[in-house]
Structure 1
Amino acid sequence: MHVYDTITAALSDLDHRGYNLDFNLTAVGLECKPINLFLRPEEFEIEEVYRFEGMTDPADSSVVYAISSNAGNLKGVLVDGYGVYAENVSPELLNKLKIHHG
Structure 2
Amino acid sequence: MKKKNNSYDTLVGAIEALKQQGYIHNFRINKNGLLVEEKEDGYIAGEVELHEFHRFEGNTNPADMSIIYAVQTSSGKKGIVVDSYGVNGSEITSKFMNKVAQKQFDMHH
How would you bin the TM-score normalised by the shorter chain?
0.7 to 0.9
Match of 1:56 in 2: 60
Give the Cα–Cα distance (whole angstroms) in 2 for the partners of residues 9 and 73 of structure 1: 24
How much has 1:61 moved relative to structure 2? 0.6
Q: 2:49 aligned with 1:12, yes or no?
A: no
Gapped regions of structure 1 (runs ≥ 5): none
TM score, norm. by length of structure 1: 0.79
Pairwise CA distance, 1:60: 1.3
TM-score with structure 2 setting the length: 0.74
Q: Secondary structure at the match of 1:58?
A: coil
Whole-Å separation in 1 of the counterparts to 2:11 and 2:71: 16
In structure 2, C-alpha distance between the alignment counterparts of 1:95 and 1:69, rounded to whole Å: 15
Paired positions, count: 94
Report if the CA contact (8 A) 2:69-2:81 is conserved.
yes
Aligned sequence identity (%) = 33
Q: Which residue of 2 aligns with 1:95?
A: 98
Q: Structure 2: which 5+ runs fail to align?
A: 103-109
